[in-house]
Every structure is written in structure tokens, then in C-alpha cells.
Structure 1
Amino acid sequence: MADAYPWQDALWQQLAGRSQHAHAYLLHGPAGIGKRALAERLMARLLCQQPRGLNACGQCKSCHLLAAGTHPDNYILEPEEADKAIKVDQVRELVSFVVQTAQLAGRKVVLVEPAESMNINAANALLKSLEEPSGNTVLLLISHQPSRLLPTVKSRCVQQACPLPSEAMSLAWLQQALPDCSAEEHHELMFLAAGSPLVAVKMHGQGVIAQRAQVVDGVKKLLKQQISPSQLAESWNAVSLQLLFDWFCQWSQLMLRYQLTRDESGLGQADMRKVVQYLAEKAAQPKVLNMQDWVLAQRQKVIGKANLNRVLLLEALLVQWASLPGPG
């Protein structure tokens, strides 16, 4: 049975309580808020032969087959390799499944995640199935970045925004999920995860709090000329490039905000507050703007999985960062 999260209760009542279902749903929202669990829960409810209220019974033949991963009327489409595209040949196999008759004489349910990973040819190949699926078929598309989807894909789905939990609800859930962490660690994880509790749990498992402390310490040493950019770049091998560029992008934005407003309450997390303020006061604004433009451009390459030389890229970042305090 898929996990049920308390911040999804109202949406679940709405989705599972429908007497008639759309042929395609687009469940969208930030990563780490439980969209996959919601889709799997709905998939189980739609395939169940004897649903109990709003939930699948968990006991019928269909539920047992689904739990075993052998349900003949269920199809899950994902990239063949992590962070790669869903290819047109994969979608053609899905289309062949959609046109078949349901083997258990009920619905067929398809789950696609992440929908934005379909390349253009793959997305176009799915359009007819989205518009006119054969038989009693429901397609559940999950998207973390719906802006990357073709308008023709979005227009053929019922678009359903999935709720981001409130801070209080997230912290209460984290206390149960990570009982050995302190309240301070829960707050820090939620900040680092941009409010997504499931991402916070994943980050905890990856040791991101310790990585953040290492990066902050390294930046301070760099500005004091206690370590070189190349040495620092090498020491960050365990930290993901996207996390690093997320943080540096955020710090450059905070610098610009402070230069414009002089509002000390907007200097971000305590661990980098003094550094951000120092750089904002010592760096020329055009220099900070150029730095931010460069960081944003490189971050897009990192997100797009471009083939980058990690050490050289980080060295270039740190050389620019170290040169911020000084003449423009």
C-alpha cells in the first residue's frame, strides 16, 4: 500500500471520491511532496476489484497482483536510466499496451514519471493515447517541472496541483520520520529541502547537513586565503554539483538583496549570514550581478546533465567568488 501523507488528505478525498474519472491526470508540484505515493495510491484504488470506501481493499486478486508488481493491466513508464530521457520507443511500447483489452476485465492504469523527461518525439507519440485512450484506461502523469511539458500534453490532461505541506505539518511529520534528530536539525533540513519533507528525509540520509557545514567552512577559509580554489574544489567531491550551485546561487541573490535594501533580516541562514553581508559590502554590484548570471547559467547546465568537468567548473566558481571583495 502506498504511503498516505496528511497534507494530501483533502486532495485524496477529491480524487478518490470521483464517481467518474478523467482519462488522464497530470499531478504536478515540487519534488519531495509525495506525488508518486499519491499516484500509486490512486492507481491501486482504480484497479481494485472490491474497494473499501476511498481506498483499495488490499485483499482482492488485483491488489495482490499489484503488490507483487505483476498486474497485467498496470504499466509504469520511467527513464531506462536515472536522469535520462524517456525515449520514443518506450512510449510506443506503452501505446501498444493502451490499445489492448484489460485482462482482468476492469481498468488499465498507466503511470508516467517524470513526465517532463519525455523528449519531444516521445511526448508527441503519447498525444493520441492521452486524447483517446482505448477502453477504460487512466493515465497518471507525474511532473516536478510542468513548465517543461509540451502544451499539447498538458491540454489533454486534468491538471492537478499537489499541495506543499505547511511548515508546521512538515515539522510534525519529520519528528515522526526522524525521531533521533533535534528540532534544530529538523528546521535546518526543511530549509535545505526548500520545504519538501520527503527531500528533507533523503538529505538526512545523504548527510547533507554535514556537507553544508563543510562547504560553509571551506568558503570562509577561501576568503581568508587559507585554502586555494583548486584545493577546495577537490575537497568537495562528495557534495553534489546541483546542491553546490543551488547554494551559491542563493548566496549571490542574498548579496544583491542586501546591496539594494540594507535589510539585515534578509541575509539568509545563520551559517553564512556574516559572509554574505561582508561580501555584499565589499563587492561592487556589477561584479555580483555578473557572478550571479554566471552561476545561474552553470546551474542550468548542471540541471540539464551537461557533460561538465567538475573540478574545473568548481575552480572557476571559487576563483570568481574569492575575487568578489575588491575593485570592480
Structure 2
Amino acid sequence: MAEAYPWQEALWQQLAGRAQHAHAYLLHGPQGTGKRALAERLMARLLCQQPRDTDACGQCKSCLLLKAGTHPDNFILEPEEADKPIKVDQVRELVAFVVQTAQLGGRKVVLIEPVEAMNINAANALLKSLEEPSGDTVLLLVSHQPSRLLPTVKSRCQQIACPLPSQAQSQAWLASALPDAEEHERQELLALASGSALMALSLHQQGVREQRALVVEGVKKLLKQQQSPSQLAEAWNGVPLLRLFDWFCEWSQRVLRYQLTQDEQGLGLADMRKVVQYLAQKSRQASVLDTQTWILDQRQKVLGKANLNRALLLEALLAQWAQLPGTR
């Protein structure tokens, strides 16, 4: 059964308690808030033959088939490879599924995630199914970036904003998920995950604190001219490229903010505060702005899965970073 998160409980009671369901729901909100789990919980509830109270029973034929991944009236549409688009051919398969009769005699339920992975052709192919799903079909669309969706897709769905956990809920949930971690470790993970407890857990499992320590130590050695850009590019091989660009993007923003405000509260995590302050004091604002613009441009290419030479890109980033102090 999909995990239930405490910050979703009020919304869940509203959704599960409905006598009549919309033919299409658009569940949207920032990444890492548990939207997929909410969609899977609703999918199980909608397909269950003997639901108890607000949840699926977990015991009936329908629940057992769903658990095994062989439910004939369930269709999950997602990219064939992580971070790739959903293709129009995949949507055509979905459209063929929607017009069939339910094999178990109940509902058919479709889950699409993330919806924004569909290109224009794929989204257009979905429109008819969204407008007139055949039989008792419910489509559950999950989106991290609803602003990227076609208005025609959004207008055909009942839009549901998925709630964010409060700071206290995030801290409590992460404490129960990582009981052996120190309090300061959990706080650092939450800061690196922009407050998302689910993202914090995922980052912990990826060894993000160790990656961060390696990168921060490398940046300090770079600025002291104890290591070269090419040495560091090689040493950071195990750190995802987008994560590196996210961190450097954030640090350049903090350098600029400190130059403008002298506000020590905005220096970020303790591991880089002195470096950010040093760069703010030793660098020309125009140079920091130029570097930040370059980082943002390259980050867009990384996001767009451009065919980039990782080592050369990192060397270029670090060469710019090393030149910042002394430009004043």
C-alpha cells in the first residue's frame, strides 16, 4: 500500500470520502512532497472491491493484482527512462486502454507522472481521453511543474494543490525515518532538500552529506591554490552534475546577497559561510554577476540533457570560481 503522510491527511479524507469522483484529477505541487504516493493511494482505493473506511482493503482480488503489478484495469504512464519525455506512442497505448471495458467489472484507473514530461504531440493525443473517458475511468495526473502544462490539459482536470508539510511535520517525519541520525545531521539534510523531508531522506540514501563535504573541502583548496580545477573535476566524479551546479548557483546568489545587504543571516549552511563571506569581500560585483549568469546558462543545458563534456564543464566552472577573488 502507498505510504500515507501526515501532511496529506486532511486532503485524503476529502478525496477518499467522495461518493462521486471526477474523471480526471491533476495533483500538483513541488517535487518531494509525496504526490505520487497520494496518487497511488487513491488509485488503490478506486480499484478496491471492498474498501474499508477511506482506504483500500489490501486483501481483495483487485488489491492483490495491483500489488503484484498485474491489474488489468490499471495503466501507469511514465517516461521509459528517467528524465526522458513521454512519447506519443505511449499515449496512444493509453488511449487504447481507456476505450476498453474494465475486465474486473469495476473502474479503470490511469496514473500519469510527471505530466509535464509529455511533449505537445503526446499531450494533444491525451486530450480526447481527458475530455470523454469511456466507461468508469479515472485519470490521475501528477505534476511537479503545472505551469509547463497545456491550458487545454489543465482545464479538463479537477486541479488539486497537494499540501506542503510544515517545518515541524518535516522534522518529526525525518526523525522517525532516520532515528539513528544526529539532530544536526537531519537539519542539514532538510536544508539541502529545501525543507522537503522526503527529498532529505532520498539525499541521505545517496550519501549527499559526504558528497557535500568533499565538494566544500575542494572549493576551499581551490581558493587557496592547493588543488587545480582539473584535479577537482576528477575528484568529484561521483557527485551528480546538476547537484554541483545547484550548489554553485546557490553560493553565487549568497555572495551577491551578502555584497548587497551585509546580512550574515543569509550566508547559508555553516560549511560555506566563511567562503561566501570571503568571496563577497574580495570579488567585484560585476564579476560575481557574470559568473552567476554563466552558471545559470550551463545549468539549463544540464537540465536539458545536452550532450556535455562533464570534465571540461566542471573545469570551466572552477576556473571562473578561482578567478573571483582579486577582481575587486
- Tell me if TM exceeds 0.5: yes
Partner residue in 2 for 1:254: 254
1:96 is displaced (CA, Å) by 0.2
Structure 2 counterpart of 1:202: 202
Give me the CA root mean square deviation. 1.0
Superposed displacement of residue 327, structure 1: 2.5
Name the CA distance, whole Å, in 2 between partners of 1:23 and 1:153. 13
Give the 3-state SS of the residue equivalent to 2:121 in structure 1. helix
Letter in 1 for 2:204: H
Task: State how far apart, in whole Å, the 1-side matches of 2:297 and 2:218 are.
Answer: 23
1:228 alignment partner in structure 2 = 228
Please list the CA deviations of residues 184-229 of structure 1 after superposition, one character each: whole Å capped at 9, or x if unmatched.
Answer: 1110111111111111111111110010011000000000000011
How many residue pairs align between the two structures? 328
- One-letter code aligned to 1:254: R
Q: Distance in 2 between matches of 1:324 and 1:147?
A: 36
Rounded Cα–Cα distance in structure 2 between residues aligned with 1:31 and 1:327: 38
2:60 counterpart residue number: 60
Secondary structure at 2:300 match in 1: helix
C-alpha distance in structure 2 between counterparts of 1:166 and 1:291, whole Å: 35
Q: Which moved more, 1:147-156 or 1:312-321?
A: 147-156
Could you tell which deviates more after superposition, 132-141 or 27-36? Answer: 27-36
Whole-angstrom distance in 2 between the partners of 1:313 and 1:132: 48
Q: Name the aligned partner's letter for residue 323 of structure 1.
A: Q
For the 8 Å contact 1:242–1:303, the answer to whether it is kept is yes
Give the letter for the 1:4 counterpart: A
- Partner residue of 1:47? 47
Where 2:134 maps in the other structure, the secondary structure is coil
Aligned to 1:319: 319
Q: CA deviation at 1:124?
A: 0.8
Aligned pairs (5 A) from 1:167-186: 167-186=167-186
Residue pairs, 1:209-224, within 5 angstroms = 209-224=209-224
- On the 8 A contact 1:109/1:140 being kept in 2, the answer is yes
1:245-296 Cα distance to aligned partner (Å, 9 max, x none): 1100101111111111111111111110111011111111111111111111
Query: What is residue 98 of structure 2 aligned with on the other side?
Result: 98
Instruction: After the TM superposition, list the runs of 4 or more consecutive aligned residues in structure 1 that deviate by more than 6 angstroms.
Output: none
Structure-1 residue corresponding to 2:295: 295
Q: Secondary structure, in 3 states, of the residue corresponding to 1:141? A: strand
Return the offset for 1:163.
1.3
Mapped to 2, the partners of 1:17 and 1:306 lie a distance apart of 46
Distance 2:256 2:140 in 1: 41
SS of match in other structure, 1:159: strand
User: Could you tell me how far 1:81 is from its partner in structure 2?
Assistant: 1.3
TM-score, normalised to structure 1, is: 0.98
Report the Cα offset of residue 50 of structure 1. 1.4
CA distance in 1, matches of 2:320, 2:163: 39
- Structure-2 separation of matches of 1:31 and 1:305: 19
Q: Which moved more, 1:216-225 or 1:31-40?
A: 31-40
- Residues 58-103 of structure 1 show CA distances to partners (whole Å, capped at 9, x for unaligned) of 1221111111111111000111112111100000000000011111
Structure 1 position 183, deviation (Å):
0.5
2:13 alignment counterpart: 13
Give the counterpart letter for 1:274 in structure 2. Answer: K
Q: Distance in 1 between matches of 2:167 and 2:327?
A: 42
Superposed displacement of residue 136, structure 1: 0.9
Q: What letter is aligned with 1:18?
A: R
Contact map agreement 1:23 1:133 (CA 8 A) in 2: yes
Structure 2 CA distance, aligned partners of 1:214 and 1:275?
15
Verify the 8 A CA contact 1:30 1:196 in the aligned structure 2.
Answer: no
TM-score, reference length from structure 2: 0.98
What residue ranges of structure 1 are gaps of 5+ in the alignment? none
In structure 2, the partner of 1:35 is 35
Secondary structure in structure 2 of the residue aligned to 1:165: coil
Percentage of matched positions with identical amino acids: 78
- What is the CA-CA distance between 1:238 and the residue it aligns to? 0.3
Residue 180 of structure 1: how far off its partner (Å): 1.2
Paired residue type of 1:269: L
1:101-250 matches, cutoff 5 A: 101-250=101-250
